[in-house]
Chains A and B, each alone.
Chain A
């Protein structure tokens, strides 16, 4: 149809629409499509974020439950897994492999220098611990992840969220601590002080940030060396020395007692453990008993999928605890899913109401122009041509609404983007391709429904 003819047709069928209904429908369409667009955009942003910060899906750590108050636990009850227990866990259904955490047996204090230079500015100081696990359980092995005796630097790996805690927790509250990018954090010199009197100082460096292991990790080789060199005797390695049925001086360590083995009276002496002084045994029994090999108190498990029923039952029966690494991902996922569903539901409802209001408004519009429409049909214009006039009018209104909702959506997205930036969540300032695809589908549905309604209304004129 020629352009002039189209314009003449539009002029001919130009009747005032129901303003109030059309305003309500437009508002509903504007808000509904904005909310739906935001929901789709948010869904993708969150998925993107979770993909980048995804915690391990099939890695869990396990330990024995720590119960009781601080005073009770000062007694250092043994929480480690025995070899038999480890064997039983390994044999459970769905468990692919297990690995034990080894920990330091000496006090560690670290000074972290965020300015990048030791002695410059303020250092973050903390009493710390080190753990190591077999490299096979690491999410990745950095190239700096090796340590040999006399190496100048101890590589350290911490969870990625430690850096987030630094950036969004510690740094904003302390003027002397700057926020750190991953690159900047790996450049920070770290002084490692070993021993209660800080007798030994080593240099350390964060070499990577793990998304799987929730611990402060150092290479196994370093920890084995350091434990051998700096380990303080464990509590069960100290004994009371009995000479002639009287306790002789302060408790002595196993190594101190072994140094006294050549003394003539050694065979007549007795010893008893610190925890049970009455349980005396001959001092010579030290020679036959070997030092107990330390067992891991925390293990990491790789399982097939979600924990099997057998594994959960075993944990329950043995009073163990199973921890999935970085569980906050689940919370975030649930919170965001809820937010997404909420926004999508409100947006969808508004859109449906808007479609219904538009439909009834345009039926009324066709009805108001029915005399002219009928005359045009009698002149030989087709129903399709008449329908297209009303549909074009709707299309114009819808295009305005959709354009405004895209602008409003982008604005809301921008505001949200700035709000959540503080939490380390980065939102895309632009629409994703999928959002555009959604807009296309949404428009198609909106237009198809209203075109059908208008077409039926025009058809009813000739019925």
Chain B
């Protein structure tokens, strides 16, 4: 999936930040099957950019194009389909359902990705097998992050958006999660955009951008 940004600048972002950014106000493209890292401190608009690509915000100037189509022209119903089958995302605030079990959270997706390993296997690789039947509200933030990663990988996608997915993971867990993400993204032939707070996760990136 090809993502292109044409002089995109979100409205609430201060002009100074926009002028100093490699992304805001520039013409950037994220080619298919590529892995990109967005690196910046807090408040620079990492989540905003991912939300713009995911179609959650429309308060920006410039253009965001998905496979050549302006996201503003994508009808509401088509966005539902895009999120169901083409773009998957790990949100910074995870957006899990705390009253459901980890297993239910992973399974509660509109369409299952048929090319991925079984849920139990992914949970095992991330050390989450013992917690699958626990309510999410009882898990630590790091555990929740791993559940959110498994859920995002369980959906079919051509683009994976990850918003600070490892912020509460230790190095060993980051490595395991990175390996799983890399493997499934490659298997899907998908591209990936990951944001981080300045650190570089143990993944192979084709492009690195500083916001």
Contact = CB atoms under 8 A, between A and B. Distances in A.
Interface of A: 4-5, 8-9, 11-12, 372, 375-383, 385, 462
A380 B110 contact: yes
Contacts of A4: 107
Interface stretch (B2-10, B83-91, B163-171, B197-205): B83-91
A378 B56 contact: yes
Given A11-B100, A11-B104, A12-B100, A381 B95 contact: no
Interface in B63-81: 76-77, 80-81
B109 interface: yes
Contacts, number: 53
13 contacts: A12-B104, A12-B108, A375-B96, A379-B83, A379-B95, A379-B110, A379-B151, A379-B155, A380-B80, A380-B84, A380-B85, A380-B109, A382-B84
Interface of B: 54, 56, 76-77, 80-81, 83-85, 89, 91, 95-97, 99-100, 104, 107-111, 151, 155
Nearest to B85: A380
Contacts of A380: 80-81, 83-85, 109-111, 155
Contacts of B95: 375, 378-379
Nearest to B156: A380
B125 to A, nearest CB: 22
A383 B80 contact: yes
B118 to A, nearest CB: 16
Contacts of B111: 380
A4 B111 CA distance: 13
Nearest to A15: B99
A383 B75 CA distance: 13
Nearest to B104: A8
A14 B95 CA distance: 17
A12 B80 CA distance: 19
B108 A9 contact: yes
Given A12-B97, A372-B97, A379 B76 contact: no
Contacts of A8: 100, 104, 107-108
A381 to B, nearest CB: 5
Contacts of A378: 54, 56, 83, 89, 91, 95
The 7 nearest A-B residue pairs measured at CB: A380-B84, A380-B83, A380-B110, A375-B95, A382-B80, A8-B108, A381-B110
A381 B107 CA distance: 13
Contacts of B54: 378
B76 A462 contact: yes
A380 B100 CA distance: 18
A389 to B, nearest CB: 12
Centre residue among A372, A377, A379 by max chain B CB count within 10 A: A379
Given A378-B83, A381-B80, A382-B77, 7 more contacts: A8-B107, A12-B104, A375-B97, A380-B80, A380-B109, A385-B110, A462-B76
